[in-house]
Amino acid sequence: MDIVESLDSLMTDWLIIAGTILAAVSGVPGLWDDRKGTPGATSGERTATVLLVVGALCGIAGAALAIARPSAGIDLGWPVPGGRFAIHVDGISALFVVQIFLISALGSVYGLGYWKQSEHPRDGRKLRLFYGLITAGMTLLVCARNTMLFMAGWEIMALAAFLSLSAQDDQRPVREVGYVYMVATRLATLCLIAMFAVLSVATGSFDFAASRPITPGAGTAILILAIAGFGLKAGIMPMHVWLPGAHANAPSHVSALMSGVLIKMGIYGLVRVFSLFPHPPLWWGQLVLLFGGVSGVLGVAFAISQHDFKRLLAYHSVENIGIICMGLGVALLGRSLGNSALVALGLSGALLHVWNHGLFKGLLFLSAGSVLHATHTREIDELGGLAKRMPWTALGFLVGAVAICGLPPLNGFISELLVYLGLFRSAALPQGTLWLTGALGAPALALIGALALACFVKVHGAMFLGEPRSERTAGAAESSRFILVPMAVLAGLCFVVGLLPWVVAPILDRAVLAWAPELAGSGLRLMVLAPLSWVSLLGGLLLVALLLGVALVRRNLRQKPAEKVGTWDCGYVAPGPTMQYSSSSFAQTLVGLFSWALRPKVSKPDTRGLFPHPEAFTSNVADVVLDSILIPAAELGSRAVRWFRWVQRGSMQAYLLYILLTLLVLFFWR
């Protein structure tokens, strides 16, 4: 029995490692593909997908084993300074591993239809190579127990993501967002390097383990650096600056991977680092909760004002990261107070939302990509009526939209429910004024939910319902099955998690125990803490009731066939597609309500007089942090810096003078 068990736990790690390696090399065979490409899929494309899918199956199998029983871990020497090849898959890591491999494999299949070698002869091979490397880097980092190994995985992921998102580097906007991404990710890396330096000095080891208690000073430094570093990657407002542009301009399956999985690596990092602090100060949780609330509300507010549907989805990532951070904040509060229910609810909510966001945001980006592939435009106001032309894509997007709004009976509701429960429970806490944190958090989350609903009703309606608003939309056709099947899988999973939440509860329990081992004795289980069986039951009933209702309507319609007419439109004689309510007008009031943060640039038409000229109303919202603060500041900085350039003036006499002055200064200093 012992042998079997140890074999089993060994398998866990090696399965995941095998998956990682397969993912890493998946793009390599395709490098020798013919550049021109044949009309069908090349062998390289197929190989890449097959390798990645097989790797993903290995990895998911390994993670499943790890959830059943924690892995034995691998600990090999790694002769670089501070390095050990230490891999261990605990409940938290397993959760992330599953998500990484799932979305990545589906994205790879999607790529067969979306980014065909024959359509992208110049960058197809490159993209597939780096796509695999992103996957491998992420797996490595979530399994790493050594901080140096973590950094290696982190940077492989970051660089490979840069190279894949700038696949079409001949386009100027792609280059620009690539640069912003790279600068942001480097800042994150530097913060993390600093954090790990402090951590390793504080604990005396390079591992993710608090072998000795961390002093409060070091703890504060670690918290600030972790929020800065991981927050930059996760896209916590106001460190989200790279995210909208990058997600919008990357190929859609890369966007799905980045938004669905990659930014969660920041969350993973936060979770992992926080796990090292058994007694964090109270303000940590409040701070994280505050960051979460701000990201959530402002993220969705920015999303509503966007005209580019991929950019809109990107801002929703900021929002969802906010929700995840709120959960994390509740968990931290719970840990400070020793309140295990809060810890369990908050962390489970956060982690489940990580999963859910991967599912529905992946689905949304894939659907968006399908639309982009068919219409070649990202402008929402050029679309419309696609539900008739691309019914499956429309359905996929609808499922994603309902899920991301956190509506029952889909998965988004479950994780938001857990976070809500955590917030409500903390609002019921007896301590002083601490409960106010939760009391403000819950309405904030409600606001986020309502705003998200407004946004997704709008974008779904404007893209898929009504009449086409432009020529290219009118001619769109449904995408190939390579594109549709991954979407169907994700949509199905949204339903599974939403309807059968008790399946994931034990997985979350294990993750919570891995995070806060002190809960081991308390016997708290998520099934007890949260009404998951009720939700499951009601969700099922709701679904049945809806289907029943639809069936009744259909029967009724069969009996009394409906008359087909034009839209009534209050008696207009010839309502045209351009008269439809556009997404900009739909959002106008809300953008106005949030204009204090969004700072929209509005040009109002001047329609005075008897015969006004044709005018157009436009409203544009740039990213306030990036475009109004950071870029001008960088501009100023670079001008200031260039002022110093006169020292290198080409005159040798000046150069020699510098040497002389250095000597004099040093002699005086002596």
Partner 1 sequence: MNKIHFTIHAALLLAMPLLLLGIIGKTKAAFAGRVGPPVLQPYLDVIKLLRKGSVFSRTTTWVFKAGPVVGLVTALFAAALVPLGGHLAPISFEGDLVLFAYLLGLGRFFTVAAALDTGSAFEGMGGAREVTFSCLTEPALFFGLIVLTRLSGSLSLSTMIGPGLGEAWRHGGASLVLVGFSLFIVLLTESCRIPVDDPNTHLELTMIHEVMVLDHGGPALGLIEYASALKLFVLGSIVVRIAIPYSGNPWASWGVFAGGMILLAVLIGVVESTMARLRMAQVPIFLLAACLLSALGIVLVAR
Partner 2 sequence: MLLVQILIPLLLGGLAFLVRSNLKRPWLLPLGGAGHLIGTCVVLLRNAPVTEGAWLGLDPLNKVVLGFLSLLFFLCSVYARGYLVLRPNQPNRYFTASLLAFLAMLTLAVEAQHLGLMWVAIESCTLSSAPLLYFNQNPRSLEATWKYMLIGSVGIALALLGSYFLAYSALHGGMSTSLFFPDLVREAPHLSHPWLRSAFILLFVGYGTKMGLAPMHSWKPDAYGEAPGLVGALLAGGLTTAAFLAILRFFQICTAAHDVAFARSMMVTLGLFSMAVAAVFMVRQRDYKRMLAYSSVEHMGILVLGIGIGGAGIFGSLLHLINNGLTKGVLFLAAANIHRCYGSKRVEDVSGAIRRLPVTGALFLAGFFAITGSPPFGPFFSEFTILRAAVAGGRFWVAGFFLLMLFVVFVGMSSTVFAVVQGEPSDKAKASDYKDNFFTVAPIIVFLSLVLLLGVYVPPPLSRALHAAAGFIEMNP
Partner 3 sequence: MHNLIGPLLVVVLLFNLFLLGTSRLQAVVNASAAQGVVLGILTLCVHEGFSTWMVLITIGTILVKGVLIPGMLLRAIRDAAIRREIEPFIGFLPCLLLGALGTGASLVFARTLPLAKEHVGSLLVPAAMATVWTGFLVLTTRRKAINQVVGYLILENGIYIMGLTLLHAMPFMVEMGVLLDLFVGIFVMGIILNHIRREFSSLDTAHLSALKE
Q: Is 201 in the site for partner 2 (CB under 8 A)?
A: yes
Q: How far is the CB of 661 from partner 2 (least distance, A)?
A: 8
Beta bridge partners of 379: 308
Cβ neighbors of 516 (< 8 A, separation 6 or more) are: 275, 278, 331, 335, 340, 343, 347
In terms of CB distance, is 169 or 467 closer to partner 2?
Answer: 169
In terms of CB distance, is 36 or 670 closer to partner 3?
Answer: 670
Among 75, 169, 379, 478, interactor with partner 2 by CB under 8 A? 169
Among 4, 570, 647, 659, interactor with partner 1 by CB under 8 A? 570
CA atoms within 13 A on the CB side of 656: 3
Task: Give residues 452-511 in contact with partner 2 (rule: CB under 8 A).
Answer: none
Task: Give residues 131-160 in contact with partner 2 (rule: CB under 8 A).
Answer: 148, 151-152, 154-156, 158-159
Q: How far is the CB of 486 from partner 1 (least distance, A)?
A: 23
The interface region with partner 1, picked from 20-28, 272-280, 352-360, 559-567 by CB under 8 A, is 559-567
Residues 351, 581: Cα–Cα separation, whole Å: 38
Q: How far is the CB of 293 from partner 1 (least distance, A)?
A: 12
Q: Which residue type is seen at 98? A: V
Q: Is 593 in the site for partner 1 (CB under 8 A)?
A: yes
Among 198, 270, 387, 494, interactor with partner 2 by CB under 8 A? 198
Site string for partner 2, 64-103 (x = CB under 8 A): --------------xxxxxx--------------------
Q: How far is the CB of 55 from partner 2 (least distance, A)?
A: 20
Residue 79 contact partner, candidates partner 3, partner 1, partner 2, none, CB within 5 to 8 A by sort of partner: partner 2
Task: Give residues 450-509 in contact with partner 1 (rule: CB under 8 A).
Answer: 450-451, 453-454, 456-458, 460-462, 465-467
In terms of CB distance, is 572 or 658 closer to partner 3?
Answer: 658
Q: Which residue type is seen at 589? A: T
Q: Is the Cβ–Cβ distance between 149 and 85 less than 8 Å? A: yes
In terms of CB distance, is 250 or 288 closer to partner 2?
Answer: 250
Residues 313, 317: Cα–Cα separation, whole Å: 7
CA atoms within 13 A on the CB side of 461: 14
The interface region with partner 1, picked from 208-216, 423-431, 479-487, 614-622 by CB under 8 A, is 423-431
Residue 200 contact partner, candidates partner 1, partner 3, partner 2, none, CB within 5 to 8 A by sort of partner: partner 2
In terms of CB distance, is 581 or 617 closer to partner 1?
Answer: 581
Q: How far is the CB of 664 from partner 3 (least distance, A)?
A: 10
In terms of CB distance, is 156 or 352 closer to partner 2?
Answer: 156
Residues 269, 292: Cα–Cα separation, whole Å: 16
DSSP-based three-state secondary structure for 379? strand
In terms of CB distance, is 546 or 657 closer to partner 3?
Answer: 657
* The pair of three-digit structure tokens given for residue 173, joined into one six-digit string: 């906007």
Task: Say what the alpha-carbon torsion angle 641, 647, 650, 653 is, to the nearest 10 degrees.
Answer: -170
Residues 314, 312: Cα–Cα separation, whole Å: 5
In terms of CB distance, is 528 or 656 closer to partner 3?
Answer: 656
Q: Is 524 in the site for partner 1 (CB under 8 A)?
A: no
Among 329, 406, 486, 501, interactor with partner 1 by CB under 8 A? 406
Among 197, 439, 474, 500, interactor with partner 1 by CB under 8 A? 439
Residue 633 contact partner, candidates partner 1, partner 2, partner 3, none, CB within 5 to 8 A by sort of partner: none
Cβ neighbors of 96 (< 8 A, separation 6 or more) are: 138, 142, 264, 265, 268, 354
Residues 570, 559: Cα–Cα separation, whole Å: 28
Residues 408, 418: Cα–Cα separation, whole Å: 13
Beta bridge partners of 85: 76
For the chain, what's the residue count? 670
Q: Is the Cβ–Cβ distance between 318 and 306 less than 8 Å? A: no
- Binding-residue total with partner 2 (CB under 8 A): 56
Q: How far is the CB of 438 from partner 1 (least distance, A)?
A: 8
DSSP annotation of 267 reads: H
Residue 549 contact partner, candidates partner 1, partner 3, partner 2, none, CB within 5 to 8 A by sort of partner: partner 1
Q: Is 82 exposed, middle or buried (0-12, 13-18, 19+ CB in 10 A)?
A: middle
The H or E element spanning position 349 is helix 340-375
Q: How far is the CB of 278 from partner 1 (least distance, A)?
A: 28
Among 19, 124, 178, 441, interactor with partner 2 by CB under 8 A? 178
* The pair of three-digit structure tokens given for residue 469, joined into one six-digit string: 């608003």
Q: Is 296 in the site for partner 2 (CB under 8 A)?
A: no
Q: Is 625 in the site for partner 2 (CB under 8 A)?
A: no
Beta bridge partners of 76: 85
Q: Is 211 exposed, middle or buried (0-12, 13-18, 19+ CB in 10 A)?
A: exposed
How are beta strands 601-603 and 84-87 bridged, if at all? Answer: unpaired
Task: Give residues 629-658 in contact with partner 2 (rule: CB under 8 A).
Answer: 634, 637-638, 641-642, 644-645, 647-648, 652, 654-656, 658
Supply the DSSP string of 12-44, one letter for each residue.
HHHHHHHHHHHHHHTTSGGGGS-SS--SS--HH
Residues 217, 542: Cα–Cα separation, whole Å: 52
- Could you tell me how far CA 518 lies from the centroid of its own chain? 30
The interface region with partner 1, picked from 69-77, 119-127, 557-565, 619-627 by CB under 8 A, is 557-565
Q: Is 601 exposed, middle or buried (0-12, 13-18, 19+ CB in 10 A)?
A: exposed
User: How many other C-beta atoms lie within 10 A of the C-beta of residue 646?
Assistant: 8
The H or E element spanning position 664 is helix 652-669
In terms of CB distance, is 560 or 608 closer to partner 1?
Answer: 560
In terms of CB distance, is 193 or 407 closer to partner 1?
Answer: 407
Among 80, 201, 550, 654, interactor with partner 1 by CB under 8 A? 550
Among 6, 38, 431, 556, interactor with partner 1 by CB under 8 A? 556
Q: How far is the CB of 172 from partner 2 (least distance, A)?
A: 8
Binding residues for partner 3, per CB under 8 A?
Answer: 645-646, 648-654, 656-657, 660, 667
Q: Is 482 exposed, middle or buried (0-12, 13-18, 19+ CB in 10 A)?
A: middle
Binding site for partner 2 (CB under 8 A): 78-83, 122, 148, 151-152, 154-156, 158-159, 166, 169-170, 175, 178-179, 182-183, 186-187, 189-190, 193-194, 196-198, 200-201, 634, 637-638, 641-642, 644-645, 647-648, 652, 654-656, 658-659, 661-663, 666-667, 669-670
